[in-house]
Amino acid sequence: MVDIETLGLVADAVILSIGAVRFDLDSDEIKDEAFYASVSIGSNLYVGRKIDVNTLTWWFKQPPEAQLVFHEPKQELETALVSLQEWFGDATFIWSNGADFDIPILTHAFGQFDLVVPWKFWNARCVRTYKNLPGAKNIKVSNTGKHNALHDAIAQAKLVQAIQRTLNTTHSMVKT
């Protein structure tokens, strides 16, 4: 599961942070070796990524704990992407909360540095689609830190696991 925080809503938006976790779809297991990178705004601007004024204004209205991303130690965007590429390794699927946000923005950024995207586009999975499956709409999980890329990735993974568990339970009740 990957989540990003940005300063815009389009493919070339400045990426503030990247969080990712490995999880098992059919259990409650979320692996310990999470990925997190807080990214330098300057390194984004250097390659032409953009800041959307409305998104920046939105960030100013967020709680102080969400704004901590602006005060963390930073790394260059290319370094963060190479680290994510290495962390992803030979995993098959990549999940995100929306088919048109996190993964396309990351894919665009990989392309700016001529880096190979570590996942195949046909292995991208969408949490929003999963959340809208019959029987899944009312399933909720807690999130300890909204707008923190790593905390959001963990919460999204837990949500997908909870939905999967519910769908499996419902399916086995229908079969008997």
124, β-bridge pairs? 94
CA dihedral 19→20→25→29, nearest 10 degrees, is -90
**The CATH number of the domain where 141 resides is what?**
3.30.420.10
Q: Domain span at residue 119?
A: 2-175
94-96 and 35-38 as β-strands: parallel, antiparallel, unpaired? unpaired
Q: What percent of the chain has pLDDT over 90?
A: 80
> 173 falls in which pLDDT band (50, 70, 90)?
very low
What is the tens place of the pLDDT at every residue in 109-144?
A: 999 999 999 999 999 999 999 999 988 888 888 777
Return the pLDDT at 117.
97
Domain tally for the chain? 1
| Dihedral angle over CA of 20, 24, 29, 35, nearest 10 | -10
Cα separations in angstroms, 144 against 12, 69, 102, 154:
28, 15, 20, 9
Which two structure tokens, joined as six digits, stand for 8?
Answer: 């815009």
- Residue 171 clears pLDDT 80, i.e. is over it: no
Distance between CA atoms of residues 151 and 130, nearest Å: 19
Mind giving me the DSSP string for 59-96? HHTS-HHHHGGGTS--B-HHHHHHHHHHHHTT---EEE
pLDDT score at 22: 96
pLDDT at 169: 75
Name the residue with tokens 């939905």: 163
pLDDT for residue 176 is more than 80: no
Residue 148, pLDDT > 80, answer yes
Question: In terms of pLDDT, which residue wins out, 49 or 167?
Answer: 49
